[in-house]
Structure formats: structure tokens, C-alpha cells
Amino acid sequence: MRAYEQLYINGQWVASNGTGTLSVVDSATEETIATIPDGTADDVNAAVAAAKAAFPAWSALPKEERAAYLMKIHAGLEARTQEIAETIAKEVGMPLMLSNLIQAGLPKANFAIAAQLLGNYEFETQVGNSLVVREPIGVVGCITPWNYPLHQIALKVAPAMAAGNTVVLKPSEVAPINAFILAEVVAEAGLPAGVFNLVTGVGPVVGEAISAHPDVDMVSFTGSTRAGKRVAEVASQTVKKVALELGGKSPNVILPDADLAKAVADGVGKCFLNSGQTCTALTRMIVPRDKLAEVEQIAAATAAAFTPGNPFEQTSRLGPLVSAAQRDRVRGFIQKGIDEGATLIAGGPDAPEGLEQGYFVAPTVFSNVTRDMTIAQEEIFGPVLSIIPYDTEEEAIEIANDTIYGLAGGVWGEPDHAKAVARKIRAGQVEVNGGAFNVMAPFGGYKQSGLGREAGTFGLEEFLEVKSLQL
């Protein structure tokens, strides 16, 4: 077990003003693998003061110099790829092979992308007699989740710093070790003091202090819709910019002209990725009623291939959930689905055989789910798929849009037909026939799935103010 005893503030490792610690647990073994400081509002004050002091010089640096620092961070993360992958596999439960590709691969890519964007991005444009100037906002508070912990950190920190802002990061206390690795990499890269600051702790203390702080100019938050509403409420008192990437209940519409076997198998995989702990997970499979029996058969067979097990075992395709609380919450939703009359065709609320230790949930598929059931409306954040039949295309679209969320979606069918239906789904990103995730495309949600966009040029511009000089 490793004890992280210090925070990273103003370019130095310093003791927290608090005396408490928080435990980090291996999700497969339930063993404590680390402790971290339980930070305080005073720690936030120190970090914000450092970030504010560093902002003038950092924002004035030529963009090429900022890009060079980002590439140094990229190289530092690259050198520690395996360590990061193994760390997050323990924290979150994602099988190691996938953790290497996703949990370690995406964050280092995000820093390189942010650096590359600076090379071509024009911060000034002429519009008639006006010079339109894009400028950094100032101090950005980044509050990040546990499911893709370092990826979500990099998706905020890299473009924020690229744009010329300084940052105060509060990672999830459930999966924070990766954030300490990043801070170590930042220190080794020689980033000027105060540009990047790390304060660990719980949301009601550290998160609230960041959101409320008058010298924090923007808060970028990823997490649950409930927590996002609180961040926005607190931040509103100082009228700061807020970017929110929140929950989802994403539909996957399978049209009658789709390749059914391919569509269903892909959809099950998209639901179960990271044990369902994915905000964009395609958790509602909306299928033609006359093909329901065939869909059930394919889905059950696909689910059976998602073998639960320790993330470090090569045979494991489904790791544990992140915590006991999350496991119990998901099992509660499964029981709710049974109680409300959905047809259970795979999995269930009991622990997978032989996996009583660890936070495991069986890969679960429900059929004959109606749109008003709890499992069709609420974000579960576990390996639970709801199959919902429809009679007409109009009904399918209506079901797809019938939640408070609008983060992601999918459509399968003849390409032009599928694209036309995808346009009618109220969500920030919709994949057509399994279209691949694009790290340069804007990422964010409609409705209660959030405000603002991350990734690519849109993600960079989220961290910029716009000024007009009338000439």
C-alpha cells in the first residue's frame, strides 16, 4: 500500500491543511491499495491563489511554448503507460488489455492533441471593422469522475492549459492515484509553478470550495446530473462559466433493415464496456417487436461471452464495479427491473459464481422493458441492458428521446436510413452502424446531460473568452 501524504500546489508537494485521509480500494480484491489526503477549503484557497498568480505569465507565453510543455507531459505519460493501465485496472476494474488501450491511451493522446491544435488555431480573426480575439478565461477548476479518471482529467486540463488558463484539479477520491501520477509527470516536465494544481478530497468539501471560489473563473465538471446541478447552483453565485458533462441513458435504435446479428452483438458490447460504467453506454436497445425473440437470443448469447473476473486475468471480459456502494446500487436496479415486470434473459442480482469477493455484477439483460420502467429511465452505471420493443419508426424515435438525458445514442440500419433517424435523436453524439469514437469530434450532451462540449477544437474553445476590438 502507498500513502500519498501531500498535495501538488504552486509547483511543490505540500501537506494538506487537513489531517484526514481517504482510502483507495482495489475493486477486485477489496484491499486498500493507497491513502490520499482528505483536502480542505483552505487547500483549495492555496491552490487557487497559486493558479491566479501564475495566470498572467502562462497566458502570455507564445502558444508554441505552451504546446512544448504539453508534449513533455505527453511523453511523461507515455513512459508510464503500463503503470497507469495497471493502476486504473485496480481502481476502476477495467480489464487490463482495455485499460491499456483506453484508460492509459486516451489521456496521453489528449495532451498531444491539445498541443497539435495550438499549431493551427487562430486566436484572432477579422470580422468587418472588428478584430475578434479569443483569450483564456483565467483560473479553471476541473472536477472529474472515477469511471475514465485520467481521460476525463486530460480532456479538461490539457485544452484548458493549451488555451492559456491555469488549473486546479479535484479528481474523484474513488480513483485518484492516476491523478498523482499526472502531477508527478507535470513536475518532471518543469511546468511553471501554479499552472497545474492538485487538491484531493470529497465533493461536498473540495468540489464545493472550487465551485464557490470567487477567483475561479470557470468550472468544468464531469459526473452525475445530480452533482452537476449542485456545481452549477454553487457556481452561479459568482456568475462563472460552467461546463457540465453529465449522465446519460443512451438509446440504440435497431431498424428493420439493420444487420440484426451485428447490431445486437455490438450494442451489448457498447452497453457492457467498462462494466457499464460509461456515461455514453447504449443501455436501451430499441428493436422491432417482430424481431424481439431473435434479438433476445443474440443478446443472451453475447452477454454469456462477457466472462466476469479479475481485470488482470486474460479470460476476463467484464471486471468489477468501482465500489461496494456502486455494486449494491446496480444490484438494486436489477431487482427493481424484476419487480416491475421486465423479463430477465441473462444475469440477475446475485454475484457471479465464484466471485463473492470483489464488486462484481453479472452481465444482465432485460427484455420486454416498457419506457416507463425505472431501468428504462434512470442511469444505472452497471452492466445492465434494457431491450424495448417498438411497432413503428416514429415510436422508436419517440422512445429514444423519452428521457431527461441526451448524451449519446446509436442507430443501425441501411446507411442513409440510419443517418436520417440519427438526425432525429436529441443527443450530443449518435453513432451510425457502430461508427467509431472520434477523439477530435465535439463531445457533450443535450437536455440534462450537460452544457458545453469537450474534445477537439470545440473543447479548446470552451476554455476561451471572446473579445471584439472595434477598429
The catalytic residues are: 245, 279
Is the Cβ–Cβ distance between 200 and 168 less than 8 Å?
A: no
CA-to-CA separations, 186 to 66, 160, 195, 378, 407, in angstroms, rounded: 13, 15, 10, 38, 31
Q: What are the backbone dihedrals phi and psi of residue 430, each rounded to the nearest 5 degrees, phi first?
A: -130, 120
69 CB-contact burial (10 Å; exposed 0-12 / middle 13-18 / buried 19+): buried
Please give the Cα distance from 67 to 95 (Å, whole number): 33
- Paired with 284 in beta bridges are 251, 386
Please give the Cα distance from 131 to 254 (Å, whole number): 48
Which stretches of 65-217 are assigned E, i.e. beta strand? 124-127, 130-136, 139-143, 166-170, 196-198
Please give the Cα distance from 56 to 140 (Å, whole number): 14
CB atoms < 10 A from the CB of 355, how many?
16
Instruction: State how far Cα 92 lies from the chain centre.
Output: 12
CA-to-CA separations, 394 to 420, 428, 446, in angstroms, rounded: 12, 20, 20
Please give the Cα distance from 153 to 143 (Å, whole number): 8
Dihedral over alpha carbons 99, 91, 153, 142 (to 10 degrees) = 160
Give one DSSP letter per residue of 371-427, joined into a string. Answer: TTSHHHHS---SSEEEEEEESSHHHHHHHHT-SSEESEEEEESSHHHHHHHHTTS-S
Is the backbone of residue 228 left (phi > 0), alpha (psi -120 to 50) or beta? alpha
Please give the Cα distance from 391 to 412 (Å, whole number): 16
* Cα maximum dimension of the chain: 73
Is the Cβ–Cβ distance between 280 and 251 less than 8 Å?
A: no
Is the Cβ–Cβ distance between 259 and 359 less than 8 Å?
A: no
Is the Cβ–Cβ distance between 143 and 231 less than 8 Å?
A: yes
Residue 27 cell numbers, joined: 475493486
Please give the Cα distance from 418 to 398 (Å, whole number): 15
